[in-house]
Amino acid sequence: MLKTMFRARRAYSLLEVLLTVSLLGLLLFVIAYAVSHALATTALDVGRNGIARSADELATRLASEARSSTAVFVPPTDVYGQPNDAAAGSREVDFFRKASDGTTAYVAYRYDASSGLVDRYDYQPVAGQAPTIIDEDAMADGVTSFMAAFHEASTLAGIVGASDVKPVHIYYGSPSWAGGNGIVSVSIVAGVSGGPQRHLEVHLASRAAPSEVAVLVSASSPPPSPGPTSSPLLVGFLLKAPLNHGPWHQGDPGYGLHGPGIAGAALFVGDGADVTVDWQSLYIFYNVVVNGSYNFVDSNGNKETVTISCDGSCPAFVPNPVATDGPTVIFHTVK
């Protein structure tokens, strides 16, 4: 007969139980802290990478737009018709393209500080009004600053021999979107203050020249042509039709012009002596003209009438002059 022997077992004391629970709690706390720190670091890296990616992609898109554009410019008003000058904060940069078939396209990148978004707009300008927006797409978010400014190439310190660089402006029918060797700088800041941020400075310059009308003019605005005089006055001009083999060149548009021109004359009749014959005033009233007579008020408040005629029929053209060194004034056809 076997006799089973039972051995008494000692139980854990309360102190041992408390110590074990405390050690386990401390171990769990350390593990939880390590996991939380790792997740926070990962989230921070993801946020930083997201901010950097958004800013970098925006810079890449802007550079790509410039490379395929005829002109890069900072418009005086944005696509909503609001001021876009330096005092108000130039929050928009625009791109103008002119294809070889004469068609034009306009693109704007506009920053909205309230939402932190930079949107891309396809639009068409409307004389005297806000442009007509054709399409809108969001390009970047989380942007806290977006400033665009135009610079002559000679004013940028990063250009070797900048003082010797002469400004070249290529006229495409409006001073608002003149092309040439000017540079638009865009300063971008993505990310909130106190957090991860990305700072970028992008320099944009047009790379493509159209195969249609292009005239090199000086950096200053074309002066009224001619100066103060008594009326009536007959002003001769040269109307250049679209070209098929690249832009005009040779610095001053009065020399080395390619292709035939259409000679014309404008007879200005004012309401008194010392009338300033002002093409710009005519352009404000009539964006496009052909043969005929036009009534308008010049910049001094004088009433004027101009009768325009060409050798033959005048095609539709923009009465916004480009002065030359000679006696003629150059105008552009609409297409």
Residue at 222 is within a domain: yes
One domain, residues 228 and 283: yes
Q: Which residue has the tokens 């003149």?
A: 178
Rounded to the nearest integer, the mean pLDDT of the chain is: 74
Same domain (yes/no): 224, 197: no
Residue 245, in any domain of the structure: yes
Please say which residue of 170, 204, 238 terminates a domain: 204
Domain-terminating residue out of 141, 171, 204 = 204
- How many domains is the chain built from? 2
Looking at residue 245, its pLDDT comes to 34
In a domain, 29, yes or no: no
Please say which residue of 174, 204, 234 terminates a domain: 204
Q: What pLDDT shows up at residue 211? A: 39
Mean pLDDT confidence for 124-144: 89
Residues 245, 132 share a domain: no
Higher pLDDT among residues 13 and 113, named by residue: 113
Domain carrying residue 127: 65-204
Residue 281 and residue 318 share a domain:
yes
Residue 30 lies in a domain: no
In a domain, 88, yes or no: yes
Give pTM, 2 decimals: 0.52
Least confident of 9-23, 63-77, 305-319: 9-23
* Measured distance CA(217)–CA(179) in Å, rounded: 10
> Same structural domain for residues 184 and 266?
no
Higher pLDDT, 88 or 136: 136
On the question of pLDDT at 257 being above 60, the answer is no
Burial of residue 74 (number of CB atoms within 10 Å: 0-12, 13-18, 19+): buried
Give yes or no: residues 71 and 140 share one domain: yes
**Tell me: the pLDDT tens digits for 22-32?**
888 888 888 88
Question: Do residue 178 and residue 228 come from a single domain?
Answer: no
Same domain for 70 and 199, yes or no, is: yes
Instruction: Give the residue among 302, 330, 91 at the shortest CA–CA distance from 189.
Output: 91
Domain co-membership, 247 together with 138: no
Which has the higher per-residue pLDDT, 307 or 274? 307
For residue 90, tell me if it sits in a domain. Answer: yes
Same domain, 99 and 186: yes
Q: How confident is the model at residue 159 (pLDDT cuts 50, 70, 90)?
A: low
Looking at the domain assignment, is residue 9 inside a domain? no
Give a yes or no: residue 219 inside a domain.
Answer: yes
pLDDT bin (cut points 50, 70, 90) of residue 252 is very low
